[in-house]
Structure 1
């Protein structure tokens, strides 16, 4: 490598690094993943700021590939809550660390080893672009670095080519095995989460029906109270008439005309009260029927599990296997409206009363 190569050691780039580090230190992360990711970004930026010449010397290839892009990413006003941007910055830092690891004889410090483990263990949580860069660093970058070195003019001898190749191959195999193990673990977790998602969907469906059931029970109670009140009002005019006659029985002949005349408004009030009694009674029966349908749905939700998984398999063999279940669960909740009294029923009854009184007169 060229000992005179400078990038991070340039004053303008050091200024950018220090400015980015200061602003990142002032930012408060919203979740644990972002907090850990940003702490490793700080670790790399601090290390580069302390020894820029050493990182220039040991990361020349990635600097030539992505150096300017890295400086652009951390320059200017940065939205540290932008997950995709911060994931990309982490992936570039990781590539620099990985090349640094390949370039030095000594092992990485514990902090950088933990950075590597964090990238492996959480690769599924990074954005697509960042995950591609991390995967590339593990799988293909060592070979690409070696190819770049092998074809550079600075190589004077290839006496140790076999050892370097073997070392790179072993490193790739090691990280490939670790990555494969972590990917399998992520896949297993994804499968488990899929099963839990199906179960929770049915729990949510049951809770939805349960909330609807509570509302309908309140409505049923209010209608029952209204039903009792309307029934009382139906009897109230008769009770008042009987009470009046009872108290004035001795002088009934004086009030007989008033009593006779009061029958017409009394009967009208009774007819209207009976009409509203019928309306409320019909609504009460409708709500009771709806409650029965909701309870049936709640009962079905208790024992139907993994519907999303086996419904496709069952329907492929028997298209009508779950038809009844679906018809009940997803059918609209209805009430019987056939016997709902018309708004003119009460008027018709009053008309008949007046006609009979007129004929009698």
Structure 2
């Protein structure tokens, strides 16, 4: 709520109502007045003293109309019957305005006490003089209409009316938004299904990538093994090609050279041994690649398999044991079938011993 100027909370007003309350409580008035006026005025002054901010906020209508006159009446040092009647009617109007804006359902609440005080006066209105009763009739019947009109003419309510006029087609806008929302829900559903497929395809993506990196390294090793075997094969047939070329171009020299033949034979056997070693390594790498490809394939369908198994069999702690034993098992290299270098040297030594034996 917007800030309002102090009227009831002003120090001069509080001093004035304190002085008036003291004077009325002395019961030394020099004139006759209605017995209901003084208790009602004292009750109203007590409300003004204990709840000044509530009256400042809610009673702006009467503050503007009769505020100055009311302050003049309560601060007048000479109090007569007409002055008491004016103070009574002014207090009644201020309390009626607060009761119009505020509801109180519990004892002790200022609005509840104000309602009770007003009702007491209304029940005994027959004893009030006609000139004062007319003011009460205005406060009870006509002032609420004036208060409502004042509220409706406020700038804030004008904004509400302007908003209602400008956005009279809001229902149509809401309907369009609902249509777009339904279409968006369908799109989101389609995207959800697509993402579910991607989840199944790329689940265990980290593990799949690790296997793929290992497989890439193994493939480079297999390519290198093929190149080495090709080089060894060329080196193995090179002596025979050289001998054929030499025989073709030197027909007169047909003598058999035993030492050269043995050198060629030993050279080819040595190359053959290394060729066999490289070939066994190549076969081992190919076996490992097959196992890695199997693991990558398993990583692509295991999520769907696990979901399906859970739905069919229920929760089972040993559900993925076979999968884990397959994926996380060591890669078999079959090294027991690959001959060592020293084994080859021993075989060559035995061959030379047999040749040299008489």
**Bucket of the pairwise TM-score, normalised by the shorter protein:** 0.3 to 0.5
Q: TM-score, normalised by structure 2?
A: 0.40
Q: TM-score, normalised by structure 1?
A: 0.40
Bigger Cα Rg: 2
